[in-house]
């Protein structure tokens, strides 16, 4: 049985993606060794499902379609920078969601149970926080320059879009980075 690395996401759109790439370029000047997310791969993850058996993918798409159909389109602003786990050890660099955060959390929460019931998802231990991953710091430890660059961009704003669809995506790991494919588009409303 073949399996697909699968996740559910929101596409930020070209205009915001272009601003995210400009932010990556600005942060790269801090000189830290960061593996930047490719422009086409920038997205807000609602749920990461991991390896899903091929035969279960249509059921996953149906669940996403059903849940998205119950929620109308909503505005989402992309703003503020940060890092996980903290500024002393910036491993994952991200931008957050302002307006629309509650809508994304509601979608996440509503998707969880039916996907758990399908056996296609394992609940995460931490609270869901909508964000877009910009890159991953290759060095584990302090990076003062990177932390300072992030702090300077703390109030950064990329703009706002209307979220009108939820995507079911697959991710194929390759030597030059993951390649994403849209498996289904679920319109909101």
CB of 151 closer than 8 Å to CB of 47: no
- Is 131 catalytic? The answer is yes
Ranges of beta strands (E only) in the chain are 3-10, 34-36, 44-53, 74-86, 89-97, 131-137, 157-163, 165-172, 179-187
- In the set 16, 37, 43, 81, the catalytic residue is 43
- In the set 131, 135, 180, 188, the catalytic residue is 131
- Is 108 catalytic? The answer is no
Query: Among positive and negative, which fits the CA dihedral 52, 36, 177, 91?
Result: negative
Active site residues: 43, 131
């Amino acid at each position: 049985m073949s399996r697909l690395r699968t996740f559910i996401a929101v596409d930020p759109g070209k205009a915001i993606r272009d601003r995210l790439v400009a932010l990556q370029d600005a942060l790269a000047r801090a000189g830290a060794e960061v593996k930047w997310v490719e422009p086409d791969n920038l997205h807000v993850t609602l749920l990461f499902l991991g390896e899903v058996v091929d035969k279960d993918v249509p059921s996953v798409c149906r669940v996403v379609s059903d849940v998205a159909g119950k929620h109308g389109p909503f505005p989402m602003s992309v703003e503020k920078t940060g890092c996980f786990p903290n500024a002393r050890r910036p491993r994952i660099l991200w931008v957050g969601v302002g307006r629309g955060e509650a809508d994304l959390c509601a979608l996440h929460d509503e998707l969880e149970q039916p996907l758990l019931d399908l056996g296609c998802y394992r609940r995460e231990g931490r609270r869901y926080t909508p964000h877009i991953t910009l890159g991953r710091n290759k060095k584990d430890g302090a990076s003062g320059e990177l932390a300072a660059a992030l702090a300077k961009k703390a109030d950064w704003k990329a703009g706002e879009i209307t979220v009108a669809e939820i995507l079911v995506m697959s991710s194929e790991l390759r030597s030059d980075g993951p390649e994403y494919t849209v498996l289904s588009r679920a319109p909101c409303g």
